[in-house]
Amino acid sequence: MKIDLTCPVELWQYTTPAESNPVCTFMLNNLSDKVVTSVQTTLVCYGAGEQLLFRQVERVQGLSAGAGERFSLTIAPSQWEAVTTVDLVIEKVWFDDATIWRRGSAALTEYESNALPAGRRLDQLRFVAGPDAVGYPEWQRRVWVCVCGRANDLHNDRCCRCERRRDTVFATCSRENVEQLIAVHEQKLHDAARAAREDASRLTEERERERLAQDKHRRTLRRLAIAAACLVVLLATGLLWGLPALRYAQASSLLGSGQYEQARTALKALQGYGNTATLLQECDYRQATDLAASAADADLARAVTLFEGLGDYQDSAAQAQAARYRAGTLALDAGRYDAAAADFQSLGDYSDSRDQFREAQYRQADSMAQNESYVAARILFADLGDYRDAAARKAECSYALGAAALASGDYETAVQQLSDAGQAQDAPELYKQASYLLAEQCRLNGDFERAGKLYQQAGDYSDAKIRANGSLYELARERMQAGDYAKATELFQSVVPYLDSETQGWECVYQQALAAVNTGDDDTAVMLLASIPKHEKGAALLQECRYRLAAKMVATGDRKTAISLYSQLGDYQDASTKLSELRYQAAEEALAAGRYQDAAALYESLGKYQDSADKWNQCRYALAAAALEQKNYRDAIEGFAALGTYQDSAKQADAATFALALQLKTSGNTDAAVELLKSLDDSTEAKQQLREITLSEADRAQAAGDLARASELYLALGDYGDAPEKYNACQYALAMQKKDAGDMRAAMTLFAALGDYQDAAAQAAACEQEAYGRYAAPARKAYAAADWPTVITTLETFDDSNLPAAYRDLAGMYAEACYQYAEALFAAGKPYEALPYYQRIPEYKDVATKKLTRRAYLILGVWENADGTLRATFRDDGTCTLFDGQTMYFSVDGYALNTGATPETLALTHKLTTLTEDSLSLRVLADSRVTQLHRIADAQALATATATPATATATPATVTVAPATATPAPKATVQPTVKPTAAPTPTTQQTAGPAAGNV
């Protein structure tokens, strides 16, 4: 049999076609740790005489087989007539993580099946290993075969199919172990059967005694009958009809009163009268039932005997088991463990009898261990396996036996027992000591080999390492001098790297190889010499032997082995030439047989040898053509593309690409199909398919309401089909959507582009009026009349970016109107009414650099002295709060600060000695006192933080200012917006305010 050990799935079972179901069904097993989503197989069908009929490649998709799961494939053969056998070859396996396994060109691994024929041996194996067992595990040349029948790589320590551990399989499922376990099991069954037979024998003897007593009784009756013959004759009628009934009634009465022995005797005396046979069974059943309630061993044993003797009468079988179970329980509680174990063992699977049997055995072992009967206790604990702490208790017994043996000088026993003691107490150290002392004995007795190995077991105890190396090394030298090179090799290797043991071991191997060469056994010589590659003479001899062995393999027809040997010889003699010849021959055979994959690999390895390069291309071309024929388009594309300009490879690659694109299109994967078709620039058919796909995609987009996508696709189609009409319809609908959404500019552009389509021109004009016209006419009129407030109001919400040529004069009109209006207000002495209009256009002209840096604007905000005791606030409504906390009106005239209770009563009260962005020096004219202040809040922050300013009245409201915090607020800068919503609506009527003066 052959197997590909690298394949992540394996064939488990299969069914062949029948008249009712003309398909092959294959059951496969996922050996990997990933989910299998697709499998490509080759179904190879053979006829009579292993004649190849045909190959059929199939790929099955849509799978979802998890790690370790089994899954099925169904394949309908193209023909079935004359097919006798089939092979299923796994070519590729796809996984859910997008990885792909491909069958390589390596040869399959041969192995022998270990399957046992149906019979007793197979039944015994399955009793031990489970129902999936097919044969004993085997070591073979290249694989190890599991008990489940799976061949595994020699390096795998676990079976790929059943996941049994290799060591466990060979330890528990070998033929010897199975036979031993079966023998133990059969012995237990034999013991149970013998006990049952003994019980049955006792019951038979008892019944025989009762029968003899009956016979004696009958003889007595006959004598009495003869003596009283006359009386019998006279009373014949009465005796015939009255006496049996009377005795039957008496027996029934005895049975009812629980006098079972008397009742049994009376019923037996009736000799089958009426239903006495049934009453006898009832008598035994009732007596057994009463006895089963007793706690006496004899009563329970008698109850079991009676119940078992009743066979299937009522529930006698179940009652017998219950009575025996109770007897075992009582024996266990009383410490009679042998009796308890016997009862529970005979019950088999009844209730928890198996557990109770192990418990009885455990307690018995525990009792023995406490009484220092360690040998027996150890045997019982070992038999218990993993029950409770039996393994640890077994180790303790071994430790006790080993320690005692060590103390008494029985080092052999000590080593054996302490090796089984594991880590119990100081067992490892005692084990080393015992090994050392036993090694000393062996050395004195001249057994140096065993002494050396025992010294090695002793590890780091005393000078064990030195003694071990010395003993084994000297013995190895002796064996080497005596010509026993195999033994010497073993000994030298056991002490590496002691002295020159490694090189001496090589020399011994070399001598063995020389002996093999002298006998013509080059195979053995090669195996030996390959293990000592650093031995100079060995390396040279290895080349010579490989060369000769390769020639022998060629002569015997084993080309595969010969190729392997020549490939290891490098440039030795003409090995490379012979290797090329053999590979070429193998490639030619593979090519002739249609095994293109194998042939291609061989031709590729040959490089430019003869016509190998051309043959390699020929094989690859055949593989790609086969993939194309089998509709495996991706492999075909890959194969033809790799061939470049070979023959018509480029044309075939395009054909495979086109076929794959059609396949993807049919399956609904149009994106991938389009990418493939685009790569076929020169193909008319590809262009036609692209147009069809694009048109379908556009129609779907239009139906789904994605008009922009549909328009893009229709436009790309140019004049193909009804694409132009559909494009115009989409654009018109899209324009209507924009119009309905209020985006008149976009709608106008779309309508205008449609020309004379439907009413697009009228719609474009209406959208233009709504987007531009209704703003342009009033704004232009007001601008011409210098009516800045009207211009501002009209263009407040107008976007003047990207304007058409007819409306480009509106660009900047809003900013200019704000600028002019602000300038007019400022010139009229209304700086704080002008401020919002400056703030709308901070980037316009010199607003930021000049207009907003006037002292009337710089002073706005909250100012505070260094220690926070004085604070001044200037607001953009023309009011201020100075140091005394009183709110009044103010104006700035140059460096003069005018204040007053009303705008009409302003007078010069302060001088602005210094005024910058961050500092203010304020001199009070009344006392010439100068106060240095720094800004803690700008005008914008002040507007946000304060309440609505007081209206201009004769007496301004007093505003209380909170004291400054310890940490001054950071300087805030005005963040102007072009059109703030908080700005006042401009009017032509100017409100009175404090005069700005000459600022």
Question: What is the tens place of the pLDDT at every residue in 900-948?
Answer: 999 999 999 999 989 998 999 999 998 889 999 999 988 777 766 554 4
Say how many CA atoms lie within 13 Å of 352 toward its Cβ: 6
Q: Mean pLDDT check: name the lowest of 114-123, 223-232, 491-500, 807-816.
A: 223-232
Residue 398 contacts residue 371 (beta carbons within 8 Å): no
Which percentage of the chain shows pLDDT scores above 70? 89
Q: Which two tokens stand for residue 844?
A: 């316009």
Q: With 80 as the cut, is the pLDDT of residue 386 above it?
A: yes
Q: Which 3 state secondary structure label does DSSP give 644?
A: coil
Candidates 997, 874, 989, 900; CA nearest to 953 is 900
Mean pLDDT, the chain, integer: 84
pLDDT score for 668: 82
**To 5 degrees, how large is the angle CA 272–CA 273–CA 278?**
65
Report how far apart, in Å, the C-alpha atoms of 863 and of each of 839, 925, 968 are: 22, 19, 10
pLDDT score for 272: 74
Residue type at 971? K
Mean pLDDT of 16-30: 80
Residue 162 contacts residue 146 (beta carbons within 8 Å): yes
pLDDT score for 251: 81
Mean pLDDT of 185-197: 65
Residue 307 contacts residue 321 (beta carbons within 8 Å): no
Buried b (16+ CB within 10 A) or exposed e, 817-847: bbbbbbebbbeebbbbbbbbbbbbbbebeeb
Question: What is the tens place of the pLDDT at every residue in 128-181?
Answer: 888 889 999 999 988 999 999 999 988 888 898 888 889 889 988 988 888 888
pLDDT score for 789: 95
Question: In what helix (H) or strand (E) does residue 415 lie, and over which residues does it extend?
Answer: helix 411-420
Q: Which two tokens stand for residue 884?
A: 């005394």
Rounded Cα–Cα distance for residues 505 and 162 (Å): 41
Q: Give Cα 126 distance to the centre of its chain.
A: 32
Q: With 60 as the cut, is the pLDDT of residue 192 above it?
A: no
Q: Give Cα 886 distance to the centre of its chain.
A: 78
Rounded Cα–Cα distance for residues 511 and 493 (Å): 15
Q: With 80 as the cut, is the pLDDT of residue 747 above it?
A: yes
Q: Mean pLDDT check: name the lowest of 325-329, 539-543, 976-980.
A: 976-980
Question: What is the tens place of the pLDDT at every residue in 417-443?
Answer: 999 999 999 999 999 999 999 998 998
Q: How many CB atoms sit inside 10 A of residue 350's CB? A: 15
Q: With 70 as the cut, is the pLDDT of residue 960 above it?
A: no
Say how many CA atoms lie within 13 Å of 165 toward its Cβ: 4
Rg over CA atoms, the chain? 56
Q: How many CB atoms sit inside 10 A of residue 550's CB? A: 26
pLDDT score for 999: 36
Rounded Cα–Cα distance for residues 712 and 643 (Å): 39
Q: Which two tokens stand for residue 533?
A: 């590659």
Candidates 820, 866, 858, 894; CA nearest to 973 is 858
Q: Give Cα 293 distance to the centre of its chain.
A: 59
Rounded Cα–Cα distance for residues 276 and 274 (Å): 6
Q: CB-based contacts of 23: which residues, under 8 Å, 6+ apart? A: 17, 74, 75, 76, 77
pLDDT score for 969: 31
pLDDT score for 902: 94
Residue type at 587? A
Which percentage of the chain shows pLDDT scores above 90? 43
Mean pLDDT of 706-725: 86
Q: With 80 as the cut, is the pLDDT of residue 742 above it?
A: yes
Q: Which 3 state secondary structure label does DSSP give 286?
A: helix
Mean pLDDT of 492-517: 90
Taking CB atoms within 8 Å and a gap of at least 24, the contacts of 516-524 are 517/541, 517/545, 522/546, 522/548, 522/549, 522/552, 523/549
Beta bridge mates, 41: 58, 90
Report how far apart, in Å, the C-alpha atoms of 44 and of each of 41, 61, 83, 292, 566 are: 10, 20, 10, 70, 33
Q: With 80 as the cut, is the pLDDT of residue 861 above it?
A: yes
Question: What is the tens place of the pLDDT at every residue in 51-104?
Answer: 777 888 888 888 999 988 888 888 888 777 778 778 888 889 999 887 888 887
pLDDT score for 956: 31
pLDDT score for 955: 32
pLDDT score for 107: 64
Residue 885 contacts residue 901 (beta carbons within 8 Å): no
